[in-house]
Amino acid sequence: MEIVEFEAEHAKKAVRILDENYQAEKRHVPVLPELHMDTELMRSMAGNHLGVAAFEGERMLGFLTCTGPFNAFGIPGVRGVFSPLHGNGAVLEGRHKIYARMYQMAAKKWAAAGAASHAFCFFAHDEILKEMFYQYGFGLRTVDAVWNMEGIHVQTPEEHVIFRELRQREFALAYPFYQKTSDHLRESPTFFWHPPKGLEEFLRAAAEQGDRFFVAEVKGTAAACYMVSKEGESFISGVSGMQNICGAYCLSEYRGRNIAGGLLGFVAETLKNEGNSLLGVDYESFNPAAQSFWPKYFTPYTNGVVRRIDESSVTVQ
């Protein structure tokens, strides 16, 4: 096995490997859509010269690329890289050894580029990679999951609740829920800090991205809010007919009353009537509220893992 730098000319072979990996995951999660892998997306991963590829003669065995380096998770002074779902893959046989060799060579580049935080996204049912990343000191952080909005009964609230979509001029009503979500994620045991947006920035971003907001109202008070976007966190989430929940919060005094579930049912029904067939969500695996709610309806298809190496091992940039 020879490890070389990932080049744009490797994109076509990388796409074939990624498609093989995707079909393997699709056997575990049949609702995942059929899609065409984008060679140009692969080519773009060669620009930073931080990727590697594994070859046996002319045959590509695997590839490992990344974005970055960038400021990792908003932590001052911590630089990181991220290998997205389309940024890595390997043939199905011998995956453990292929990934181990590729990571050893890539991580050397990443440390030399000043990156102490190393993050990967890979398919959720790849047990071989889970074991390898565990052995290499990575921990689970994020999950992408999907629901075909069929076959699951969402319980209705026990009280009178109005479900509706906010008009754009009402988007400011969603801002307090965004703030509460940010506050919640900073608490134990999640400890996920990111710079919060002010109201004007929040409204501008929502308008530019075409975000939508759905609320549940009890006696005229908004009790829960979901944000729905066309784009999600993986290349799969942007396919035609798929929408994504990118924010959700239910006020503590309204929890346990089927309001969040009822609102989810309303969102699903609305999106299905518009011709959508899939709904995605991404969440932190160490967020207890998310971990107890989303798997009731959604099936995981990716895992995101992260490792922070000793900063004394990196080159200061």
- Helix (H) / strand (E) containing 145: strand 139-147
Q: Which two tokens stand for residue 248?
A: 């959700």
Q: Which two tokens stand for residue 233?
A: 């966190």
Under 8 Å between Cβ of 60 and 10: yes
Same domain, 106 and 215: no
- Asked whether residue 156 is assigned to any structural domain, the reply reads no
The 3-state DSSP class for residue 288 equals helix
- Asked whether residue 18 is assigned to any structural domain, the reply reads yes
Q: List all residues 6 or more positions away from 183 whose beta carbon is below 8 Å from its beta carbon.
A: none
Residue 129: which domain range? 2-143+304-313
Residue 265 bridge partners (DSSP): none
Distance, in Å, from the CA atom of 130 to the CA atom of 255, rounded to the nearest integer, reads 33
Of 77, 89, 105, the residue nearest 45 (C-alpha): 89
Same domain, 292 and 309: no
Same domain, 166 and 137: no
Residue that the structure tokens 């004394």 belong to: 312
pLDDT attached to residue 194? 76
User: What is the chain's alpha carbon radius of gyration, rounded to the nearest angstrom?
Assistant: 21
Under 8 Å between Cβ of 125 and 28: yes
Same domain, 44 and 114: yes
Number of domains in the chain: 2
pLDDT attached to residue 294? 94
DSSP letter assigned to residue 195: P
Distance, in Å, from the CA atom of 88 to the CA atom of 119, rounded to the nearest integer, reads 11
pLDDT attached to residue 153? 62
Distance, in Å, from the CA atom of 165 to the CA atom of 176, rounded to the nearest integer, reads 16
Same domain, 30 and 51: yes
pLDDT attached to residue 311? 80
Asked whether the CA dihedral 196, 197, 199, 203 is positive or negative, the reply is negative
Q: How many helices (H) and strands (E) does the chain have?
A: 8, 14
pTM: 0.91
How many residues belong to the chain? 317
Same domain, 224 and 275: yes
- Asked whether residue 155 is assigned to any structural domain, the reply reads no
Instruction: Give, for all 317 residues of the chain, the pLDDT tens digit.
Output: 999 999 999 999 999 999 999 999 999 999 999 988 888 888 989 989 999 999 999 999 999 999 988 887 777 778 999 999 999 999 999 999 999 999 999 999 999 999 999 999 999 999 999 999 999 999 999 999 999 987 656 666 666 888 999 999 999 999 999 999 888 888 898 888 777 889 999 989 999 999 999 999 998 899 999 999 988 778 888 888 999 999 999 999 988 888 888 899 999 999 999 999 999 999 999 999 899 999 989 999 999 999 999 887 786 55
Of 21, 311, 308, 312, the residue nearest 137 (C-alpha): 308
Same domain, 9 and 132: yes
Same domain, 286 and 185: yes
Same domain, 11 and 109: yes
CATH number of the domain to which 283 belongs? 3.40.630.30
- Burial tier of 9 (Cβ tally within 10 Å: 0-12, 13-18, 19+): exposed
Of 172, 176, 227, the residue nearest 203 (C-alpha): 172
